[in-house]
Structure 1
């Protein structure tokens, strides 16, 4: 299992549009990816509804989890989270 952390840059956190864009990208990653926030259990990163349950706000740190060998996919998802998807 590999992990990556990211600080969420979107002004609205992972709500509505940014969460939908992220969930779509996670679904296209080709490997199962989970996302978690401190104090909450990991959820499927390709599920908009599950992501929204985390209550991620701008500036929160999230952790992505995937199988070994998914480094490139996680790096792309981290880059996406660290970009303001509201812009």
Structure 2
């Protein structure tokens, strides 16, 4: 199963706005994706579960996916998590 470990880039961590963007992108993937932090693994399509991970700026999380298109899905989602959404205008 392909995995990617990435560092959360948003200055305020994986709070509502970046988590919502991440969950929406995860739901659009052709394969199911999970996100893990400190041994806890959740469905990347669940906003409440992703928020409950409590991932802050600089924390490492691991993404995993399986199936055709898994590598592409992980690349796309990893890029979202490493970006500083707090430096971007809302909207």
Shorter-chain TM band: over 0.9
CA distance in 1, matches of 2:85, 2:26: 14
Q: Which runs of 5+ in 1 are unaligned?
A: none
How much has 1:53 moved relative to structure 2?
A: 0.9
RMSD: 1.0
Q: Which runs of 5+ in 2 are unaligned?
A: none
Q: Deviations over 1:4-32 (max 9, x none)?
A: 11100011111110100000001111210
Which residue in the other structure is 1:56 paired with? 55
Return 61-70 or 51-60, whichever deviates more: 61-70
Q: Deviations over 1:28-72 (max 9, x none)?
A: 112100000123x21010111000110000000000011043101
Runs ≥4 residues deviating over 3 A: none
Which residue in the other structure is 1:67 paired with? 66
- TM-score, structure 1 normalization: 0.93
Select the structure of larger CA radius of gyration: 2
- TM-score, structure 2 normalization: 0.89
Which residue in the other structure is 2:21 paired with? 21
Query: Is the helix fraction higher in 1 or 2?
Result: 2
Which residue in the other structure is 1:80 paired with? 80
What is the count of residue pairs matched by the alignment? 86
